[in-house]
Structure 1
Amino acid sequence: MRNITLFLMLGSALFAGGYKIPETSLNSVALSAANVAHVSSADSAYYNPANMVFMKNESVMEANLIYIGLSDVNYKAAGIDIESKKENFIVPSLHYVSHEIGGARFGLSVVSPAGLSKRWDDAPAIYSAQEFSLQSVEVNPSVALPIGDKIAVALGIRAIYSEGVVRSSSPIASRDMEGDSIDFGYNLALSYKPISELELALTYRSKVNLSIDGDATLSYLANSSTSSASVSVPVPALLNVAVAYTLESETTFEFVYERNFWSEYKELDFNYGEGVNPVTNVVFGTPIAKNYKDTNVFRFGVMQKLDALTFMGGVVIDESPAPDATLGFELPDSDSVSFSFGSRYQINEKINIGLAALYSIREDRTVSNGTLDGEFSNANVLMVSSALEYKF
């Protein structure tokens, strides 16, 4: 099994600061994930399950396909001008909200909450990051209950399966690792609607420690060995505070403040089983400092409802958690600004379809940390989402 989780911790962000993927539905792509306070479609099961209480009493499901295109990141230094490979992916997701059952609403989301892929063909990048790739699947059931007419609360369970590959090679050393993991966490949500036009929300997703187990083939000089390998790294907790206001024209504005608790990620520490040469173990098993910092994300979204059409747009300002001192080819991360737009069309009472796109522009980043002394550029991301929602 391919240890995408190992990569998740080592590797480069696909869509946001760090290695999380905030956009897992059509509305989240169209609104730059500013769909927490006002969310009222099937993806409320993931973004704010408390809002399921305020939805129409019917079951609703959304099936979604997201195309993700990663540009070829450029690195320039004295005498060096190299590019990573371009990457293209199709990522599916599913969201479901039940009708009322005994006064409660139940939700289920199947999404990819984190991911990355970074591959280089040229030195010196291949010395540490010839390939870093991550795939993950989260199954997130939830239940929501009303507290009076204006307040609702929700609780969910996070089960994350992840797998990936880490490869590096140099004239004197190489590493080839694979592994996988199943890990658990929880999420909480609170919604408050003091008046019909104003919606307030507070959501929290817990930290999930990815405890990866797999196999590794390591070589250093004349020594080569294969053994078990393990590592534990956190997917950080995050807190969302959101407010939305809807005008008489059915125009809704939403602002989301997001706090990501990346400071839990202090180091990357691989452990190997018996049979690894002591010198080789020092080369590949010495903990690698990461020292990530907590980050702030600011999301702005606007939605305009018409008769059969709904138009959406958004902007997100995102910070990178990776400090200069620990930045490497496996994570050429930087601050970013993203712009998004999309629409839905109501075919009939039961079915609507939609299309959305998001483009993330990452800042060029100059690094001089003793290992790297150059500039990363062109680390941009395009997302295109298509979805079908069905009510029954």
Structure 2
Amino acid sequence: MRILALSVIASVTVMAGGYKIPEVSLNGTALSAAYVANAHGADAAYYNPAAMINNEDANLLEVDTTYIGLSSIDFDGASDYSSKEENFLVPSLHFASKKLGDSGVRAGFSIVVPAGLSKRWENPTPKATAEEFTLETIEFNPSLAVALSDTVSMGVGFRVVQSEGVVKSSSATPTLRDMSGDSIDYGYNLALNYHPISHLSLAATYRSKVDLTIEGSAALRYLGSTYSGATSVTVPIPATLNFAAAYTFDTGTTVEAVYDRTFWSAYKKLDFEYGGTPNAATVAFGAPLAKNWENTNSYRLGLTQEYDKWTAMAGFAYDESPVPGSTLGYELPDSDAWMVSLGGRYQLDEHWNIGLAGLIDVKKSREVHNSSINGEFSNARAYLVTAGIGYRF
């Protein structure tokens, strides 16, 4: 099966701990995702739908494209080798409405890529378990916002995640695994925004877990045994809880701090199921793999400066890895990471604005000593460049 799930797990080796992608708009990239309490404009529909209440009374649309470049990851052990470099273009779209009638309710939606990417190896050792792990996801997230009082607003959304994935491995034993599959799965998100005073915004958001219930086909070979047929696997996109505070000074400077808790402990094992009568091939590739990932914290800081027609942004973040050393493999040689970002927008006229943002994600080197790996992973990097255009009508 296009083990989308395994791909999911194995794909995003940079970007964020595990395989989620929090940078899904121009502002998100420019601020290292420190963009919750100060979320505004079209992309508030995704980052904090409750904050749509504070938008100007107009329809707001934004279209972004993000280039993601993943460096090769070096491994230093009994032998030295590197993964392949990866390059991607990832689109996103956000919309937030003006007030709907006299109710003051706002509606919005986002189309984003919440998780994914890829990891590929050509050296025989990692190729035996992780020749290719690729995940492609797309999420459609409609949302509504309503004012509970002059200072408090609430938002609610519905997550629809479509996924496709590929898993391949091979060795001279001979063994072969070639699987593909897809899935459509569902979740929800909630948000609460509070303005105790005019310059201060406090927010809490929650995105539910989405279990990717992947089904597809597999071709397996293990020594003289083969299998060609159905396969399935379930892997979570974990729940995330954010607490954020943003303060705007009289100079037009906004400082935001975000605490991000991701519940990766939902990912306890990777267990592929196959149809038909078990044989050596399905047994070899079907044994459950312990993962035992850990819940993680991310700490984000964003700075926004408003000028007449310009908006300048900068961000900084520290992101923990959920992967314990005991279960870390070549498919996801993850580690803690630092992120730094810059970006800006320019207001062309009353309807149009354009912007550009960049982010660098630097993973720490990590020594791993477990039953299958004995060595050090290093030089993992991710480079993001997001270009966007916004329209007010």
Aligned to 2:30: 30
- For residue 130 of structure 1, report the CA deviation from its aligned partner: 0.2
Contact 1:17–1:321 (8 Å) recurs in 2: yes
- For residue 233 of structure 1, report the CA deviation from its aligned partner: 1.1
Deviates more, 1:42-51 or 1:7-16: 7-16
**Could you tell me how far apart the structure 2 residues matched to 1:198 and 1:123 are?**
55
- From 254, 262, 265, the counterpart of 2:256: 254
Aligned to 2:40: 40
TM-score normalized by the length of structure 1: 0.98
Aligned to 1:280: 281
**Could you tell me how far apart the structure 2 residues matched to 1:51 and 1:74 are?**
42
Aligned to 2:68: 68
Q: Which runs of at least 4 in structure 1 moved beyond 6 Å after TM superposition?
A: none
TM-score normalized by the length of structure 2: 0.98
Aligned to 1:205: 207
**Could you tell me how far apart the structure 2 residues matched to 1:268 and 1:181 are?**
16
- For residue 370 of structure 1, report the CA deviation from its aligned partner: 1.6
Contact 2:12–2:20 (8 Å) recurs in 1: no
Q: Deviations over 1:50-104 (max 9, x none)?
A: 00011111000000000000001111111x1111110000000000001111321
Contact 2:152–2:192 (8 Å) recurs in 1: yes
Contact 1:10–1:268 (8 Å) recurs in 2: no
Aligned to 1:378: 379
Contact 1:3–1:162 (8 Å) recurs in 2: no
Q: Deviations over 1:5-38 (max 9, x none)?
A: 3310344434100000000000000000011001
- Secondary structure of 1:124 counterpart: helix
- Secondary structure of 1:324 counterpart: coil
Report percent identity of matched pairs: 51
Q: Deviations over 1:198-256 (max 9, x none)?
A: 00000000001110000000000011120100001111100000000000000000000
**Could you tell me how far apart the structure 2 residues matched to 1:12 and 1:314 are?**
21
Contact 1:200–1:244 (8 Å) recurs in 2: yes
**Could you tell me how far apart the structure 2 residues matched to 1:10 and 1:253 are?**
34
**Could you tell me how far apart the structure 2 residues matched to 1:224 and 1:59 are?**
56
**Could you tell me how far apart the structure 1 residues matched to 2:229 and 2:250 are?**
65
- Secondary structure of 1:50 counterpart: helix
Q: Deviations over 1:333-374 (max 9, x none)?
A: 000000000000000011110000000010001100021001
Contact 2:53–2:106 (8 Å) recurs in 1: yes
- Secondary structure of 2:124 counterpart: coil
- Secondary structure of 1:125 counterpart: helix
Aligned to 1:50: 50
- How many residues end up aligned between the 2 structures? 390
**Could you tell me how far apart the structure 2 residues matched to 1:390 and 1:81 are?**
50
**Could you tell me how far apart the structure 2 residues matched to 1:11 and 1:265 are?**
15
- Secondary structure of 1:325 counterpart: coil
Aligned to 1:59: 59
Amino acid at match of 2:386: S
- Secondary structure of 1:17 counterpart: coil
Aligned to 1:345: 346
